[in-house]
Amino acid sequence: MSGPAAAQDSGNASKPLPNWALLAEPCMRDHARDLRVAVLLGGTSSEREVCLVSGRAMLDALCAAGDLAPQSVIGIEIAQDGRWILEGETIDATRAIDRLHPETVFMLGLHGGDGEGGPMQGFLKLAGRAHTGTGLAASVFCMDKIRSRQVFVQAGLRVAPGVGLWPHEIRGDLNAQVQRVLALGPGPWFLKPSLGGSSVSMGHARNEQEIVQFLNALPELEPGEGILVEQAIKGVEVTVGLLAAGAEAPTCLPVVEIQPSPGAWFDFKEKYSDSGALEWCPPKNLSPARQEQVQVAARKAWYAVGLSGYARLDFIVPAEGEPVFLEANTLPGFTPRSLFPMAAGVAGLPFNELCVELCLRGWVDHQQRNRSGEEA
């Protein structure tokens, strides 16, 4: 299985949905039909092109959701200058949001800084609007791979030997930083900007010379951004999606195994190209017991940073010992090759229904937050 494309064709909701799906409840199906949804796509991050693909897939899915389709669905592209393109007019975000019904749920087809980094969640929170995915604080935190790594360790998760390098350290004494990487243990090593995603600007170094080459050609970084370097761990690469509504315990989707092409690693091409990595759900090379270990670790990570809505968590499962946590994706991809929709489809929630489900969960989260505020 290489993606959720087949599931995207399913627009009818007549088949039984999983009992954990809100859409399995008749009253929630009625709420889903009453929703007004605005899909945000594009954006200003380095992952803009992926965001356009994800957002268009979400938009098409909601419009083709059959008797579960929301009463209104609109797509809003965020231009590269940050302004919103609403019904053909490019205007600032505040003017755009004021034109939309106050009960609109915003489905975030955004990845990278302006989506996963928290600015959009913060803007929508201040505007009192519902949105899909996790909230502001957890979004900001998970986007920073260096700082969040420390909290995941404190929560008892196993991580690869790693070190955070900062631009001023690299410019001040490059050799000292290279020695810090070598001290992690034998290579290869992965080097990635701490605020990036989709493996954009990520490096893979097999020896000291390649470490130096990467650091000498340091990609342009955001203010406060560093480089997280981790020793590569041998094992089965997997990912697991989780979703929840309100304060409920998160549901784990089936584990997906990722096998990059021979000699490759799971970089941008392997993630999004038709000739990229092979992906299996359920995994081919992981026992049910080991899959359950991954799900247990994923729930631990979810609670450690206060995730909500939905997220996808990545791991390496070595031959022995606990799964090794890699990172949390608070707005995972929704392209035809994306892994979260694939796992949901295997669990019984096709792509169209999944998009409606996430909007419904965003609406439920918003309602619960409003009630909590009133009670306070």
Q: Which of 121, 29, 39, 100 is nearest to 334 (CA)?
A: 39
Do 315 and 300 contact (CB within 8 A), yes or no?
Answer: no
Which listed residue (46, 338, 353, 357) is catalytic? Answer: 338
Tell me, rounded to whole angstroms, the distance of Cα 43 from its chain centroid.
Answer: 15
Query: What is the distance between the alpha carbons of residues 119 and 258, in angstroms, rounded to a whole number?
Result: 30
String of DSSP letters for 72-115: EEEEEEEPTTS-EEETTEEE-HHHHHHTS-TTPEEEE---SHHH
Query: What is the distance between the alpha carbons of residues 97 and 243, in angstroms, rounded to a whole number?
Result: 27
**Going by C-beta distance under 8 Å and a sequence separation of 6 or more, which residues neighbour residue 275?**
261
Which listed residue (45, 47, 139, 230) is catalytic? Answer: 47
Model pLDDT, residue 113: 76
Model pLDDT, residue 39: 98
For this structure, is 270 an active site residue? no
Virtual torsion, Cα 8, 9, 15, 20, nearest 10 deg: 10
Which listed residue (10, 54, 194, 198) is catalytic? Answer: 198
Model pLDDT, residue 218: 79
Model pLDDT, residue 368: 86
Structure token digits, residue 376: 């306070």
Q: What domains are defined for the chain?
A: 5-9+17-144+234-375 (3.30.470.20), 161-231 (3.30.1490.20)
Q: How open is the CA angle 364-298-321, to the nearest 5 degrees?
A: 170
Mean pLDDT by 10 residues, the chain (376 residues): 36 71 95 97 88 95 96 97 95 96 96 85 96 94 91 96 94 96 95 71 89 86 88 96 87 94 58 73 97 98 95 97 95 88 96 97 90 54
**Cis-peptide, bond into residue 318, ω within 30° of zero:** no
Model pLDDT, residue 335: 81
Residue 312, SS3? strand
For this structure, is 47 an active site residue? yes
For helices 288-305 and 145-154, angle between their N-to-C axes, nearest 10 degrees:
110
For this structure, is 198 an active site residue? yes
> Residue 87, by phi and psi: left (phi above 0), alpha (psi -120 to 50) or beta?
left
Do 158 and 324 contact (CB within 8 A), yes or no?
Answer: yes
For helices 288-305 and 136-143, angle between their N-to-C axes, nearest 10 degrees:
110
Total residues belonging to the chain: 376
